[in-house]
Amino acid sequence: MSKDDDVNRRSAASSGVLSRRNFLKVSVTGAAIASAGGLSACMIGPMAAGKTTKALALYQDTPNRGRRCGGCTHFREPNGCEIVAGAISPNGWCRFHEPLPA
């Protein structure tokens, strides 16, 4: 590398000229940050650790063939569940339903 090349590189860096490599770094970093922000905006709301969404549990506010959340081992008074996040109706039902022991 000649002395002139070295001087040209330093002057380009100090003058604020953006190299192709730096441009790509900045672009990829910006895209990653924007994607992460977009994904977090899609979240429905805060969900308790280890709990699934109502949609994934196929939760419904009505009983299914006589089975209801109020008669399930996972139901927690007054309107909670060990497995499903959010407020649960005692008259609801989901695919994780386990009847209370008789």
Q: How far apart are alpha carbons 101 and 99 in whole angstroms? A: 6
* pTM for this model (two decimals): 0.53
Render pLDDT for 4-21 as a digit per residue (tens, 0 to 9).
Answer: 555 555 555 555 677 888
Domain 47-102: assigned CATH number = 4.10.490.10
Q: How far apart are alpha carbons 102 and 98 in whole angstroms? A: 12
Q: How far apart are alpha carbons 72 and 40 in whole angstroms? A: 32
Render pLDDT for 33-81 as a digit per residue (tens, 0 to 9).
Answer: 777 666 555 554 455 578 999 999 999 999 999 999 999 999 999 999 9
- The pLDDT value recorded for residue 7 is 53
For the chain, give every domain's residue range: 3-42, 47-102
